[in-house]
Structure 1
Amino acid sequence: MRLRDRRSFTKPEVMIIPMIDVMFFLLVFFMISTLYMVDVKTIAVHLPQAVHADTQAKVNYLVTLKKDGTLWLDDRQINKFDLLKEAAAACRINPQFVVVIRADQGLDYGQVVALLDELKGAGITHFGLAAEGSNEQ
C-alpha cells in the first residue's frame, strides 16, 4: 500500500540566502570586534596630534608616561628601576628591540627626555614616540 505519490517528493535544495546572511553577520562581527582590540593593553593618555604619524605593527615594549609621573609597561604600573632592568635584559636577547613611549600631551618635555636618556644608558638604541594620527593635510 502506497501512501504518497513518488512524483510529489522534491529534490533537496541548499538554501544559499540564509547562509549568506550568516556569513555577512560574522564578517561584521569580526570587523567591529577587532576595532576594540587595538587599545586593550594600553593606559588611557591624551597623546599629541601629528599629521605624519606612522603605525607600528610590532612593538616590543609599550611604555606609558602619565601626567602624574607614573610609568606603565603595557597595562601594569612599574617603577623606573624595574623598567630599565627588564628592558636592558630584553635588549640583550633581541638586538632589534624597540621601546615605544606614550607620553601624555600635558607632560613636561624634560620628563620624556630624562626617560629616553635613562633607556639609552641601559643600552636601548631603538625608540619610538607615540602620537595620535590626524586626518588633516
Structure 2
Amino acid sequence: MEVTDRHVARIPPGNLRVPRAEFVAVWRAAEQLNQESGARGEPDWYAGAVAVTCRWLAATTVRRYNGRIHIAAAPVTRREVRAYEELIEAEALAADNLALRTPRLLTSRPGWCEGIRATLAWAWRHEGPPPLPVTVTSAHSSPT
C-alpha cells in the first residue's frame, strides 16, 4: 500500500500520541519493507505487523485481495471498526497478551506479535522507540 498525503490528512488526531510526521515515516517504511519482502516471497512478519497496525491507527481503508475496499482491521482482534481512543487502548492491552493467547504465531509469523506490540506501545502509549528506524524527513518524500 502506498501511503499518500490523502491518507495522512485523514488520520484522526486523537489516534496518535507521537508526532504525525514521525508516525507517517514509520508507516511508509513499514509498507515499503512489507512490499519488498512480499515481492521476494519471504514475508517480513514484523514489518507487516507494523504496517497493519499503522493502517488501523490511521483509520484508513484497504483493498482486499478480492478487490473490495474495507476499513483496515484491528491488528489483534481483526475487527473492522475505525480506530478510536478507547478501542486503541483495548487493542494495546490485547497486543500485550497476544503471544500468550496465540503462541503458534511465534513460529508461524515470527515478529508479528512484536511488531504490533511495539507499534501500539510507541504510537499510542508513547513508550519506547519507533518500531522501525526512520528519519522524519522521509515522511514527505513519497508522492501523493
The reply to whether TM is greater than 0.5 is: no
Q: Which has the higher contact order (CA 8 A, sep 6+)?
A: 2
Q: Which has the larger radius of gyration?
A: 1
Higher share in helix: 2
Higher share in strand: 1
